[in-house]
Amino acid sequence: MPPRRRRHAPHKGQAALFDSDMPLPFGILDLEDRITADAGPPVRVKCYVRGCPEMLRPPTKGFPGDPCKTHGIRCHLSSSTVTYTYAVATDNLITAPQVFRTRVRGNPHKLETHRFGYCNSEDALTWNVLRSFQDAGALHLIAEHVTGRELSEEPQLYLWGLSSFDDKFQPWPLLKEAHKRFEIGRLPITRPLSEPDAMLVVPKKLVLILEAKLLADNPVAYRSGPRKSSQSLTLEEVIDLYHDSGQQLLDYDKLRAAPHSYTQLQRYLTIADYVARIDSPKTDAYLASVVRAGHEHDATRTMRGFMRPGYGNRFVRLTWESIFTLAQLRGRQLGRLSEYMLTKAVGLSGGFAPAFCLDAW
Ligand SMILES: [Zn+2]
């Protein structure tokens, strides 16, 4: 069977007139069911796009890998995970590629922009989903779903702490205040400052941090446990560093007595609480752990157990599948996003699988 869709290298100076002119990233139906490799030498793998005969050398240390001339992907082959990367990272985006190219790639405040081209990239997924909602003026649907409040205005979207709603991708001053309060000059090791995947902000009303996971788990730390990597904090350090006497959401007595905690979620609860308080006394803080259906229930149960009475609803588990349902409320306006989520694949051990449990085929 011939490849379903041919990806064209863009001609110099030519951009798609509308985002909808861009092909969607390859979906589960476009990808081979089985991985075919030739042990070589050199090791080669058949392009992962269904029916493509190209044999490609996968990336190795010091060698970027052969991109398929037809499909523009490099096929990675490792013992743990099968995946691929787009030679042109914006081929993995479904909306606003020009904004990404000019404002995000190379932005000194955004880490790891080279990862956007990976099939399994959480950042590309976050961009595709939340920028699509922004473009449709539908971010309030997500905020209303999480908070249970009706909103008369559209929230401002920040991605990785940078302003997406105005396309400027400038750091949010209140997040910089949180960095100063909790991190700058205080961290015992060298590590990046907190960079929430996404924030929905309605000034003087609410701050909702979204921590997005695709295949990774929420990091957990155990009492008296060792540092997991040179850049990770121990549970005790997170409890000591991210503590503010005015904070409302977390019960620190329970945290100090707990055998384990999900430290990234804990940090973002404290930061959401802090930025909401410096925004205004009326601003409420929320955190949503955005995960796939069937995942991260222990993280939800554990973190819920640390919330102070009356604040339990400020932390929620939000599935990508629920966000898909919210996209359906906008019908064709978010049809491109819906098709992307329905067909989105992830590379796992041995092959590809649908990213989400959506039985709307
Ligand atoms: Zn190919």
- With a CB cutoff of 8 Å and minimum separation 6, the contacts of 275 are 172, 174, 175, 177, 178, 207, 285
How far apart, in whole angstroms, are the C-alpha atoms of residue 76 and residue 58?
5
Give the chain's mean pLDDT: 90
Q: How far is the CA of 334 from the centre of ligand 1 (A)?
A: 29
| Overall average pLDDT of the 81-87 stretch | 92
Q: Is the dihedral of CA 332, 336, 337, 343 positive or negative?
A: positive
246 versus 133: which is more confidently predicted?
133
Tokens linked to 344: 């989105």
pLDDT at residue 162 in the model: 95
8-state DSSP, 101: I
Neighbours of ion ligand 1 (CB under 5 A): 47, 49, 52, 54, 68, 70-71
**C-alpha of residue 209 to centroid of ligand 1, in Å:** 38
pLDDT of 105-152, one tens digit each? 888 887 667 789 999 999 999 999 999 999 999 999 999 999 999 999
With 60 as the cut, is the pLDDT of residue 80 above it? yes
Residue 304 burial by Cβ neighbours in a 10 Å radius (0-12, 13-18, 19+): middle
- Angle at the Cα of 327 from the Cα atoms of 346 and 164, rounded to 5 degrees: 80
**Same-domain check for residues 183 and 295:** yes
CA 81 to ligand 1 centroid distance, Å:
19
Question: Which pLDDT does position 181 carry in this prediction?
Answer: 95
The per-residue pLDDT for 108 is 83
Same domain, yes or no: 164 and 302: yes
DSSP of 19-53: GGGSPPPP-GGGB-SS--EE--SSPEEE-SBTT--
Q: What's the pLDDT at 115?
A: 86
pLDDT at 17: 45
Domain limits for position 257: 128-325
| Pair (79, 216) in one structural domain | no
Residue 342 lies in a domain: no
Identify which of 103, 118, 87 has the alpha carbon closest to the alpha carbon of residue 10.
Answer: 87
* Number of domains within the chain: 2
* DSSP alpha helix (H) spans, the chain: 97-99, 122-135, 139-147, 173-182, 235-241, 252-257, 263-279, 297-304, 320-328, 335-343
Q: Residue 135 is encoded by which pair of tokens?
A: 């473009």
- Residue 228 confidence (pLDDT) above 90: no
> Is 345 part of any domain?
no
* 238 and 134 share one domain: yes
pLDDT at position 8, please? 45
- Compute the radius of gyration of the chain from its Cα atoms: 21
Residue 340 and residue 333: Cα distance in Å, rounded? 13
80 and 214 share a domain? no
pLDDT bracket for residue 312 (50, 70, 90):
very high
More confident residue, 81 or 203: 203
**pLDDT of amino acid 345:** 95
Residue 4 predicted with pLDDT over 60: no
Is residue 224 situated within a structural domain?
A: yes
Confidence of residue 197 (pLDDT cuts 50, 70, 90): very high
The 3-state DSSP class for residue 209 equals: strand
User: Given this model, what pLDDT does residue 1 score?
Assistant: 45
Average pLDDT, integer, range 173-194:
93
Give this prediction's pTM: 0.92
Q: Is the pLDDT of residue 230 over 60?
A: yes
Tell me: do 290 and 216 sit in the same domain.
Answer: yes
| C-alpha–C-alpha distance, residues 59 and 49, integer Å | 17
Answer yes or no: is pLDDT of 341 > 60.
yes
Residues 48 and 137 in one domain: no
**Residue 82, H or E segment:** strand 82-86
Please report, rounded to a whole number, the percentage of residues in the chain having pLDDT higher than 70: 93
Ligand 1 centroid to 64 CA: how many Å?
A: 16
Q: Tell me the C-alpha distance between 140 and 200, whole Å.
A: 9
Whether the pLDDT of residue 170 is over 60: the answer is yes
Distance from chain centroid for Cα 308: 28
Taking residues 1-12, report their average pLDDT.
44
51 and 157 assigned to the same domain: no
Q: How many CB atoms lie within 10 A of CB 311?
A: 18
Domain termination site, one of 87, 119, 150: 87
253 assigned to some structural domain: yes
At residue 245 the predicted structure's pLDDT band, cuts being 50, 70 and 90, is confident
CA 47 / ligand 1 centre spacing (Å): 5
Q: Is residue 316 part of a domain?
A: yes
Mean pLDDT is lowest, of 77-81, 274-278, 285-289, 320-324, for 77-81
Q: What is the pLDDT of residues 9-64, one digit of tens each?
A: 433 334 444 556 688 999 999 999 988 989 889 999 999 999 999 999 999 989 99
**What is the token pair recorded at 283?**
């601003």
What's the pLDDT score for residue 11? 38
Backbone angles phi, psi at 16, to 5 degrees: -60, 140
Cα 68 to middle of ligand 1, angstroms? 5
Q: Residue 99: what pLDDT? A: 93
- What does each C-alpha distance from 266 to 9, 15, 51, 122 come to in angstroms? 44, 42, 46, 20
Q: Is the peptide bond before 173 cis (omega within 30 degrees of 0)?
A: no
pLDDT at position 328 over 90: yes
pLDDT classification of 2: cutoffs 50, 70, 90: very low
Q: Based on the fold, state whether residues 232 and 307 are members of the same structural domain.
A: yes
Residue 38 domain-assigned (yes or no) = yes
**What is the rounded CA–CA span in Å between residue 322 and residue 329?**
11
Is residue 243 situated within a structural domain? yes
Mean pLDDT of 190-212: 95
- Dihedrals φ, ψ of 349, to 5°? -65, 120
Pair of tokens at residue 23: 């092909």
Ligand 1 center to residue 53 CA distance, Å? 7
Tokens of 186: 């205080």
Say if 71 falls within a structural domain.
Answer: yes
